[in-house]
Amino acid sequence: MILTGLEQDHNWASQQIEAYRQVYPRYVRMSQVLQQVLEKACKLSAPLAILQTRPKAIPSFAEKAIRKKKAGRYSDPLVRMTDLCGGRVITQTLDEVRAVCDFIEKHFVIDSANSVDVSQRLKPSEFGYRSVHYIVQFKREVFPTRDIPVDVPEELYPDESNPMKAEIQVRTVLEHAWAGFVHDRVYKSAFTIPPRWERELAGLAGSLEQTDQSFTRIQSGLKTYVASYGSYLNEEQLKSEIGILESVLTCDPQNPDLAYRLGKLAMELGDWQKAIDIFSKYEHTGYQPILRDLGVVLCKVNARDPHGESYQRGQKYLELASSPPHRDPDALASLAGTWKNLDEEKTREYYRQAFRVDPTDPYAVSNYLVYEIIHQRDMAPASLMAPSLAAAIQRSHDQAEVGMNMPWAFYNLGIFHLLLGQPYESLYAYAQAIRLSTSDWVVETSLRLLDKLSAVQELIQGYEWARRTLILGRAVKFVDKTSLEMIKNYTNANNSPITAPVVIVAGGTRADLRVDVYRQLLIEAFGSFRGTILAGGTTAGVSGLVGELQAAYPESISTIGYVPAILPDGTHLDPQYRQVRSTSGTDFSALEPLQVWMDLIASGISPSQVKLIGLNGGEIAAYEYRLALMLGASVGVIESSGREASRLFKDPDWRNSKNLLNLSADGQELAAFIRSK
């Protein structure tokens, strides 16, 4: 009996459908196992991802098989179809898409010929139907793993009769929305849509792409923010937060991100062993931030034995954290730091790699630039890297604005401005960085970076000012013995110790200062004061007013002036001061206020015992106000006096300082401030 073509097609379809019906349970099981594997994988890299898996329904198989046969595409659908099992991972951000894709590529056999990143075939003007499609098979001897304890049944591996392939799509939520609305309703339709709607869809596509990229940037920023929020907590608050997170972690012990936050807080507290203990329990997860910071802490704790097993283990963790596909610039820069004084060329090379990965990353830029300057013994690299420096400065400001990467954002600004020849901007940033620091090691790290530049310090304006600022901050805030000894070396042994109570009077010396107004104000305010006043030591402006105070109250006040060794032309010492002390400067600069504080600390006077009154002033006074705030002195500034006194209260980094008071030009109010405890 001869069958017609229609009968032949019907018989063929019946045979194919029956064959698929027989193997269908295998694909049901495959979808279940695939769901389990992807759920475990996404818990680490995309915890809020939406997962969907399913076997192709028998009617769907039948329709697709018949259509492909009629189109002459293939006659063996059970072998040729690659989507008999399908999976879809819908993530929050593009970074999560990349992380999931990396997992799939490492853990499955990929049919590269049939897999495609749809975004790569779009025209430059298109957003379009974006997603990554993988055709995969389970790879033998991969699962179960420690992170993904899922057994793959033997029936799910390919055999001679069936390739057991599955299609996995990976896309963001916005890409998924686009695919569902535009691709399915527009591009799959039988009609051509009007040009007006095409234009509107093109605009929508561009907006979606920008939104996707914004989500990714914000998520990345939030991770950094969460990891650095401990920088705003004092010791008691840090310990409280650690206790809370420890309790939460007992309820969710498989959460590496939570463990990372806990370990990061321990680092902020300087409890290195606790950080090591926490991170070590989660190193098996491969969670990149944990590997990076475990490496950092191990190398820090074992810095005295860089050839020992523990130090080298820390370096291995950093190598893992910075290896592809991560290529994290922070991990690479941290790895570079572990080679300092061991292999300077390797140090420089790792910093170069970090810079190449992200030429706007502040940590990478600062260290790479320093090493290039040292290598060339010239400041030319700062000019050559000007675009990267500008981008890194902006990035540091952006971080500071939202409280991210603290206090490092300000330490980075300190070194950037210093190398760009902007010494006072550098000092303001360093002062804020120290004020926000909760551990001595961050100040020490920044000081070591400056010390690297000592060979070219004569080329860097303000180098010694910045270095002394860090030393002073470290000595006062963390009672560092080495720094305290250095402060003693910076003081003149022939000078008598300063006696409390102490008031510093700082501010403007320009001719436009309203001297007559403030003369009467200060005379009234200091009428009942008995103690020491420190100021500029010349006859100009605020310094001259302090000399007049000495003349007005010779029995109760002792004044000490601070001046550079070489006075500028037209400047005169005020003979009314009881004592004038000289710095090594050749003009008035930050050295004078630094010497004031070094003499105070060497005299055993705590900053909490010191008052500073600010009137008007330029860049030196601006630094003097911030230096006193950083150290913990009570700072009363008369905003109405103008210039830097006014600008201080507009500076978002300083205006909310707890030890800053906005005083009115009233003698009694000023006197109350001086007498306050």
Rounded mean pLDDT, 557-582: 96
Q: Are residues 56 and 185 in the same domain?
A: yes
pLDDT of the residue at 128: 44
Banded pLDDT at 326 (limits 50, 70, 90)? low
Banded pLDDT at 167 (limits 50, 70, 90)? very high
What's the predicted TM-score (pTM) here? 0.70
Rounded mean pLDDT, 188-206: 63
Q: Are residues 572 and 474 in the same domain?
A: no
Q: If you ran DSSP here, which 8-state letter would residue 368 be given?
A: H
In a domain, 171, yes or no: yes
Q: Are residues 163 and 77 in the same domain?
A: yes
Q: What's 327's domain CATH number?
A: 1.25.40
SS3 string, 514-583, reads CHHHHHHHHHHHCCCCCEEEEECCECCHHHHHHHHHHHHCCCCEEEEEEEECCCCCCCCECCCCCEEEEE
Residue 234 has pLDDT above 70, yes or no: yes
- Mark out the alpha helices in 179-328 (DSSP H runs): 195-228, 235-251, 256-269, 272-280, 288-301, 309-322
Banded pLDDT at 390 (limits 50, 70, 90)? very high
pLDDT of the residue at 34: 96
Which amino acid makes up residue 538?
T
Task: Give me the number of domains the chain comprises.
Answer: 3
Which amino acid makes up residue 14?
S
Residue 101 has pLDDT above 60, yes or no: yes
Rounded mean pLDDT, 269-295: 92
Q: Which residue has the higher pLDDT, 208 or 345?
A: 345
pLDDT of the residue at 126: 45
Residue 653 has pLDDT above 90, yes or no: yes
Q: Are residues 463 and 502 in the same domain?
A: no
Residue 81 has pLDDT above 70, yes or no: yes
β-bridge partners, 581: 562
Q: Are residues 405 and 540 in the same domain?
A: no
3-class SS of residue 83: coil
Greatest extent of the chain over all pairs of C-alpha atoms, in Å:
133
In a domain, 455, yes or no: yes
pLDDT of the residue at 408: 92
Q: Are residues 454 and 599 in the same domain?
A: no
pLDDT of the residue at 77: 87
Helix, strand, coil percentages for the chain (3-state, nearest 5): 60, 10, 30
Which amino acid makes up residue 120?
Q
Residue 2 has pLDDT above 60, yes or no: no
Torsion sign over Cα 541, 543, 544, 550:
positive
pLDDT of the residue at 392: 93
Residue 231 has pLDDT above 80, yes or no: no
Last residue of a domain, one of 172, 199, 226: 199
pLDDT of the residue at 219: 65
Q: Are residues 417 and 450 in the same domain?
A: yes
Provide the domain limits for residue 167.
Answer: 5-199
pLDDT, tens digit, for every residue of 474-494?
999 999 999 999 999 999 999
Q: What's 530's domain CATH number?
A: 3.40.50.450
Q: Are residues 37 and 180 in the same domain?
A: yes
Banded pLDDT at 161 (limits 50, 70, 90)? confident
153 preceded by a cis bond (ω within 30 of 0):
no
pLDDT, tens digit, for every residue of 49-60?
999 999 999 988
pLDDT of the residue at 160: 85
Which amino acid makes up residue 42?
C
Q: Which residues contact 518 (CB under 8 A, 6 or more apart)?
A: 542, 545, 615, 641, 665
pLDDT, tens digit, for every residue of 173-182?
888 777 666 6
- The C-alpha torsion from 84 through 90 and 91 to 92, rounded to 10°, is 170
Q: Are residues 533 and 614 in the same domain?
A: yes
pLDDT of the residue at 180: 66
Residue 37 has pLDDT above 90, yes or no: yes
Task: Tell me how far CA of residue 404 lies from CA of 147, 159, 221, 223, 414, in angstroms.
Answer: 30, 53, 7, 9, 16
pLDDT, tens digit, for every residue of 427-462?
999 999 999 998 898 999 999 999 999 999 999 999
Residue 369 has pLDDT above 50, yes or no: yes
Backbone phi, then psi, for 504, in 5-degree steps?
Answer: -95, 130
Q: What's 17's domain CATH number?
A: 3.30.460.10
Last residue of a domain, one of 154, 179, 199: 199
Q: How many CB atoms lie within 10 A of CB 6?
A: 8
pLDDT of the residue at 192: 63
**Is the separation of the CB atoms in 363 and 412 below 8 Å?**
yes
In a domain, 258, yes or no: no
Q: Are residues 127 and 27 in the same domain?
A: yes
Q: How many CB atoms lie within 10 A of CB 71?
A: 8
Rounded mean pLDDT, 402-415: 90
**Is the separation of the CB atoms in 314 and 298 below 8 Å?**
yes
pLDDT of the residue at 63: 84
Q: Which residue has the higher pLDDT, 91 or 560?
A: 560
Residue 110 has pLDDT above 70, yes or no: yes
Q: How many CA atoms lie within 13 A of 319 on its CB side?
A: 7
pLDDT, tens digit, for every residue of 117-160?
544 444 444 444 456 889 999 999 999 987 789 999 999 999 88
In a domain, 274, yes or no: no
**Is the separation of the CB atoms in 317 and 292 below 8 Å?**
yes
In a domain, 235, yes or no: no
CA-wise closest residue to 270 among 449, 441, 479? 441
In a domain, 30, yes or no: yes
- Mean pLDDT is lowest, of 62-66, 336-340, 402-406, for 402-406
What proportion of the chain, given as a percentage, has pLDDT over 90?
64
Banded pLDDT at 609 (limits 50, 70, 90)? very high
What proportion of the chain, given as a percentage, has pLDDT over 70?
89
pLDDT of the residue at 501: 97
For the ranges 75-84, 221-230, 267-276, 598-607, the one whose mean pLDDT is highest:
598-607
Q: Are residues 374 and 458 in the same domain?
A: yes
Rounded mean pLDDT, 336-345: 92
In a domain, 241, yes or no: no
Rounded mean pLDDT, 269-284: 92
Last residue of a domain, one of 183, 199, 215: 199
In a domain, 257, yes or no: no
pLDDT of the residue at 343: 94
Banded pLDDT at 14 (limits 50, 70, 90)? confident
pLDDT of the residue at 398: 86
Q: Are residues 353 and 441 in the same domain?
A: yes
| H or E stretch at 468 | helix 463-478
Q: Give one DSSP letter per residue of 301-353, joined into a string.
A: HTTT-TTSHHHHHHHHHHHHHHSTTT--HHHHHHHHHHTTTT-HHHHHHHHHH
